[in-house]
Amino acid sequence: MSPIKIEYYSDILCIWAYVTQLRIEKLIETFGDRIEITAYACSVFPDAHEKIALLWQNRGGFEGYSAHVRSVAEKFPHIEVHSDVWNRTVPRTSAAAHLFVKAVEIIEADLDRNDMHQKPYLEKLSTRAAWALRKAFFVEARDISDWDTHRDIAKALGIDYGQIDRAIRSSEALARLESDYTQGLAKDIKGSPTFLMNEGRQRLFGNVGYRLLEANVHEVIDGRNEGEASWC
């Protein structure tokens, strides 16, 4: 039987997507090759400076938002958030980080073709790149909209930055990113993180606990066995 397809939409700068990473790992540990996760970028912080300045102007501005994000992190012992995040370190946009991941996906696709198989989700170069970006921002308080940060992450992952640069200069990475954003709009993705299952019939958004994720996957599996998707 083919694996259950799960579409995962997130913004690299989103604290809730950072929190959710462990739940994804647990989901894969539980279901293994019975699920197939595909990651897409969605745009929650297209202009982070403008968004936070506007939405938090009466709640302490950047310092207020930084305190909010750190208060979220305190509820989840498996994550760490640096005190400078959204305070001294304020990336301009998440789009630059997303563009870097899309460039990595292009390199990854070439490697997969050469190896004649696709790596599991957590082993994918693009998954590792996205996680490295999140850790660089939330744990190390690095500006992940800065291309020098991308260069350092590429080096740490063993990626030739020249390949990243070519994918960006050719606009191939930008085309992939725009495709993600357009698909998110077409599927009415409201924010990060969002999970779509069962051809979009099941949608989970925001701070979704692991048990709810697990229950939804079981429901899709059970529904497939019972033929529920064929109901009129």
DSSP string, 81-138: --TTBTTTB--S-SHHHHHHHHHHHHHHHHHHHHHTSPPPGGG-HHHHHHHHHHHHHH
What confidence category does residue 225 fall into, taking pLDDT thresholds of 50, 70 and 90?
low
| pLDDT tens-digit series, residues 38-65 | 999 999 999 999 999 999 999 999 999 9
All structural domains of the chain: 4-230 (3.40.30.10)
Check residue 112 and give its pLDDT: 76
Average pLDDT over residues 9-35: 97
Q: Mean pLDDT across the stretch 81-87?
A: 98
Q: How confident is the model at residue 227 (pLDDT cuts 50, 70, 90)?
A: low
Model confidence pLDDT, tens digit, residues 150-208: 999 999 999 999 999 999 999 999 999 999 999 999 999 999 999 999 989 999 999 99
pLDDT by residue (tens digit) across 103-132? 999 999 988 777 667 789 999 999 999 999
Instruction: Name the pTM for this structure.
Output: 0.93
Residue 230 has pLDDT above 50, yes or no: no
Position 36 scores a pLDDT of 97
The residue written with tokens 């980080």 in the block is 97
Helix, strand or coil for residue 16?
A: helix
pLDDT greater than 70 at residue 229: no
Residue 111 has a pLDDT of 84
Distance of CA 93 to the CA centre of its chain: 14
Residue with tokens 């958004």, as numbered in its chain: 205
In the prediction, which pLDDT does 113 show? Answer: 77
